[in-house]
Amino acid sequence: MALSGSGRASLNGDELATISAASRSLSGLWELAQHIDGHFLPYYLFMHLWLKFGDAELWLRLPSAIAIGVAAWFLTDLGSRLQRKVTGATAAGILAVLPSVSYYGAFARSYAFAAAAVVFAFWALHRALDNPRAGRWVVYGVAVALVCSTHLFAVLTVPAHLFLVRRAILARMFAALAAGSLPAVVLGLIGYGERHAISWIPQRGPEVLLKFPKMAAGAAEVGLLLFAAALVGAALLWRTRRAWALALLGWLVLPPVLLLAVSHLVTPVYVDRYLFVTAPALALLAAFAGSSLGRFGVGVAGTVLVAAGVLAFSTHLDVRDSNGRFEDFPGAIRRVHTETGDALIFGQSSVRAGFDYYAEGPLPVDVLRRGLEPDIGGFGFPERPDVARALEGHDRVWLVWRGAKTAKLPRVKAVQDAGFALTSSWHSAELPGLTVALFTRS
């Protein structure tokens, strides 16, 4: 599911940032990590090696698809261990039909890795609780370390593990947790020091939690269906495995609540994609809703799976559209009809990376560009500041920016102040999207 159509949607700004970071030298990557995205350093190091073999869309997104496959494997086995094989199979099936899985399973960022690590951690914890040998606690500690290393906010799933603490294993579990959490401490301090990089995130109120089912599933209707099924599944699991019912429910609902708390206590950080790690919990609990009903369970589980697939179908098509990641760079490039003497300016210098990646033919003169390499401390590019002088001798200028046509950007005003008026504009279908505007000298 993750691989199908994953090469059709245009890379977006976040994925282009992955290319920018991973294609640098190790010293350049270390320099970048000291300014921005330091908590992504483990992922960027992996992708640094991966990009040695290519940078096509499909190749860039393949690691995420593999990670989703790993998550599904561990989820299947965890469901089978907690109840029976049909539970695990249904959970994996539900996971496969989630639009959020099609999105993040074909996304060149670390969110699929984080989801796989979280499932692995719960799976390893179950094995350690079932047979608390020293080796299994080591595996559990490694799993927690992977959770903390794949994405900083994936650590918000770890408190749900505490519902499974028993006196007999208290010392061993806490030792494994303490050792595994060390990466979270290091990356958390790095992230706190670089919080200026996420200053664009607005503050959210409690009402944002109402949108959580849509976020976890990737579509509103299927999200509400599966969230309701998940609550039923937790209630049914409560009858036989109370601690695990609480742990799985905590895996589902604690991350959004804790992320909102961090937003109000530290700095705004509530972004939907940080919570993709809850999608496997949604699938597993929804699977319990059917498989817990005895001989009728298989039919109910199958009905839930089919209903989720039907409700999600149109969203799956949208995800696989060229604008499926909300920034259609090939579409934007096609709107630039170059004539001799045209100039090209970008509203945000980082948008240039998309044109560099996708452009196959000649483009207008990039009049503000200074050099081919991005900034050593970010994903933008060095540019000359004098827009008016850069446009001398040009009668037409194409301006491309991330955002709506009505966005109030300093670069738009600078072009207008240089004596140009808007002639035409185009915007991709979804926000933030890309806007391509043509200005001609007045």
Residue-wise pLDDT for 394-428, tens only, equals 999 999 999 999 888 999 999 999 999 999 999 98
Residue-wise pLDDT for 419-442, tens only, equals 999 999 999 877 789 999 999 998
| pLDDT on residue 305 | 83
| pLDDT on residue 297 | 64
- Residue 320: φ, ψ to 5°: -90, 5
One digit per residue, the tens of pLDDT, for the chain of length 442 reads 888 876 789 999 999 999 999 999 999 999 999 999 999 999 999 999 999 999 999 999 999 999 999 999 999 999 999 998 989 999 999 999 999 999 999 999 999 999 999 999 999 999 999 999 999 999 999 999 999 999 999 999 999 999 999 999 999 999 999 999 999 999 999 988 888 888 889 999 999 999 999 999 999 999 999 999 999 999 999 999 999 999 999 999 999 999 999 999 999 999 999 999 999 999 999 999 877 666 666 677 778 888 888 999 999 999 998 899 999 999 999 999 999 999 999 999 999 999 999 999 899 999 999 988 999 999 999 999 999 999 999 999 999 999 999 888 999 999 999 999 999 999 987 778 999 999 999 8
How far apart are alpha carbons 275 and 153 in whole angstroms?
Answer: 8
| pLDDT on residue 294 | 63
| pLDDT on residue 302 | 79
Residue-wise pLDDT for 49-60, tens only, equals 999 999 999 999
Do 370 and 412 meet the contact criterion of CB atoms below 8 Å apart?
A: no
* Model confidence, pTM: 0.94
Do 193 and 202 meet the contact criterion of CB atoms below 8 Å apart?
A: no
How far apart are alpha carbons 266 and 164 in whole angstroms?
Answer: 29
Burial of 246-273, coded b for 16+ CB within 10 Å and e otherwise, reads bbbbbbbbbbbeebbeebeeeebbbbbb
Instruction: Output the 3-class SS for the chain.
Output: CCCCCCCCCCCCHHHHHHHHHHCCCHHHHHHHHCCCCHHHHHHHHHHHHHHHHCCCHHHHHHHHHHHHHHHHHHHHHHHHHHCCHHHHHHHHHHHHHCHHHHHHCCCCCCHHHHHHHHHHHHHHHHHHHHCCCHHHHHHHHHHHHHHHHHCHHHHHHHHHHHHHCCHHHHHHHHHHHHHHCHHHHHHHHHHHHCHHHHCCCCCCCHHHHHHHHHHHHCCHHHHHHHHHHHHHHHHHHHCCCHHHHHHHHHHHHHHHHHHHHHHHHCCCCCCHHHHHHHHHHHHHHHHHHHHCCHHHHHHHHHHHHHHHHHHHHHHHHHHCCCCCCCCCHHHHHHCCCCCCCCEEEECCHHHHHHHHHHCCCCCCEECCECCCCCCCCCCCCCECCCHHHHCCCCCEEEEEEECCCCCCCHHHHHHHHCCEEEEEEEECCCCCCEEEEEEEEC
Q: Which two tokens stand for residue 36?
A: 């921005």
Look up residue 384 and give its amino acid: R
- Residue 155: φ, ψ to 5°: -65, -15
| pLDDT on residue 296 | 65
Question: CA of 54: how far to CAs of 19, 59, 62, 86, 178, in Å?
Answer: 11, 7, 11, 39, 38
Residue in 179, 159, 90, 166 with CA at minimum distance from that of residue 130: 166
Strand partners, 346: 400
Question: CA of 193: how far to CAs of 43, 148, 152, in Å?
Answer: 19, 17, 13
| pLDDT on residue 291 | 74
Sequence ranges of the domains in the chain: 13-319, 329-441
| pLDDT on residue 436 | 97
